[in-house]
Amino acid sequence: MKQFFVMLLLMVPLLVVGQSEDEEMLRKIFDKELTEGQCYENLRELCKDIGPRLSGSEGADKAVQWGKKVLSEIADTVWLQEVMVPHWVRGAKETAEIRMPDGEVIPVNICALGSSVGTEAGGIEGEVVEVFGIDEIEKLGEKNLKGKIVFYNRPMEPRLISTFAAYSGCVDQRSSGASTAAPFGALAVLVRSMNLRQDDLPHTGVQRYKKDVKKIPAAAISTNGARLLSKKLRENSKLKVHIEMSCKNLPDKLSHNVVADIIGSTYPDEYILIGGHLDSWDLGEGAHDDGAGSVHSIEVLRLFKELGIRPKYTLRCVLYMNEENGPNGAIQYAKESKEKGWKHLAAIESDRGGFTPRGFSFDGIPDIQENTLKEVEKWAELLDPYGLHHLDKGFGGVDIGYLREQNVPLIGFVPDSQRYFDHHHASNDVFEEVNKRELELGAASITSLVYLLDKYGLKSNEN
């Protein structure tokens, strides 16, 4: 790519004569963000000055104070909503080895899954049973599983264009693998990391113990580790794996959602909610998950203020606590909303990373979902110049999902998904992996939708 004269064909005029007020306003929103955006600097602070922010950690407390401070400079009101959160800590010890019957010892990269118990001191050791889904467990039964380590190795499906769909098809191994295998006497579980790439990074994430089921240790193994273990098992099914982890669950702690409003001029008591989650896993810096969504949400309010747009509805930024291993913040917000009868015109969530925007997905109870999509489709031409082509039914978000039963239209921000799981819940989810322009385009995209929602409302939902 080099030649100037032919490249001129690509030139897009910054302003077109005769464009509508809405076109002009969207252009202003993008211009402002792409030249004077603050979300990248906010993300730098959140990732580099604070770092990882798992619920219950010092980082999470600092993040709450940081969110309150940043939003206090923008919003009319900022308050902290109390929420009790789990407090799980990884501990210093976290190792695994493949021990071959001939004496060969091969270390592999693992990490404990959130809420996992640790092993006994000195670790545990057992033969390994490789499976490709939790449905195999019952068939294998106690005679095959007792005293063994269950190795869940179903990979993410690469043929799915949306990597979130591929994640959905695998993540039950991580979230319920331990409690599925424990009743049959399994010693521990190793789960292939939710990662489409082959690399050495283990990806953590929550796992949930079922009530009255023995709590056995649960860890993620890197995709390279999983490939190696599978290969070694084919060579010798009698190999053993040794795992030692010192993670543990501490008593729940008090934490907070950060809630900030710019009061609406016409409907001060009706909210357009924009949210992301402030907590992150303890590996990496939670840059894409969900530092990006947090700074996106803050930036929407900032852009309204900077551009002097007085909203008709109250714009409410919610920085949720404890999405990762809760989501207690979301439950708490929805509870208070129900109790106090808060009315939400819509709730928008950004929790799919800071990648180039592709559009929005629409969620909620069926009528609401249908109606909201129809209304927003009217704005397709306004959104098109910014690459916001994806307007379809789909998942809104974990945190806003708890508002579904209050008949709130739920909208998920949809950035490009291809690289998301390269970093998800792993040590490489760091600030450097977020591209400034891609992040800013996300903030401007969400702000544009909020501008249109605020201006036109969602009339078909009123019927």
Instruction: Tell me the C-alpha distance between 226 and 200, whole Å.
Output: 10
Sign of the CA dihedral 257, 263, 269, 274? negative
Smallest gap from residue 359 Cβ to a second copy (A)? 9
Judged by beta carbon, residue 245 or residue 398, the one nearer a second copy is 398
Judged by beta carbon, residue 5 or residue 234, the one nearer a second copy is 5
Smallest gap from residue 313 Cβ to a second copy (A)? 26
Judged by beta carbon, residue 151 or residue 362, the one nearer a second copy is 362
Give the active site residue among 323, 349, 375, 438: 323
Token duo for residue 116: 């996992």
Smallest gap from residue 393 Cβ to a second copy (A)? 8
Smallest gap from residue 176 Cβ to a second copy (A)? 8
List contacts with a second copy (CB under 8 A).
1-4, 6-12, 14, 30-31, 34-35, 157-165, 167-169, 171-172, 175, 196-197, 205-206, 289, 323-324, 327, 351-352, 356, 358, 363, 385-387, 389-390, 394-395, 398, 401, 416, 418-419, 422, 424, 435-438, 441
**Strand bridging mode 110-112 / 218-221:** antiparallel
Judged by beta carbon, residue 164 or residue 267, the one nearer a second copy is 164
Smallest gap from residue 267 Cβ to a second copy (A)? 29
Contact residues for 379 (Cβ-Cβ < 8 A; gap 6+)? 22, 449, 452
Judged by beta carbon, residue 112 or residue 239, the one nearer a second copy is 112
Judged by beta carbon, residue 237 or residue 418, the one nearer a second copy is 418
**306 near 33, Cβ under 8 Å?**
no
Instruction: Tell me the C-alpha distance between 53 and 283, whole Å.
Output: 9
Smallest gap from residue 169 Cβ to a second copy (A)? 7
Contact residues for 370 (Cβ-Cβ < 8 A; gap 6+)? none
**189 near 178, Cβ under 8 Å?**
yes
Instruction: Tell me the C-alpha distance between 447 and 301, whole Å.
Output: 8
Q: What are phi and psi of 402, to 5 degrees?
A: -75, -5
Instruction: Tell me the C-alpha distance between 55 and 67, whole Å.
Output: 15
**368 near 408, Cβ under 8 Å?**
yes
- Active-site residue flag, 94: no
DSSP one-letter code for 287: I
Question: What residues does 348 pair with on adjacent strands?
Answer: 274, 411
Contact residues for 347 (Cβ-Cβ < 8 A; gap 6+)? 272, 273, 274, 275, 396, 400, 403, 408, 409, 410, 411
Smallest gap from residue 108 Cβ to a second copy (A)? 22
Judged by beta carbon, residue 130 or residue 438, the one nearer a second copy is 438
Enumerate the active-site residues. 323
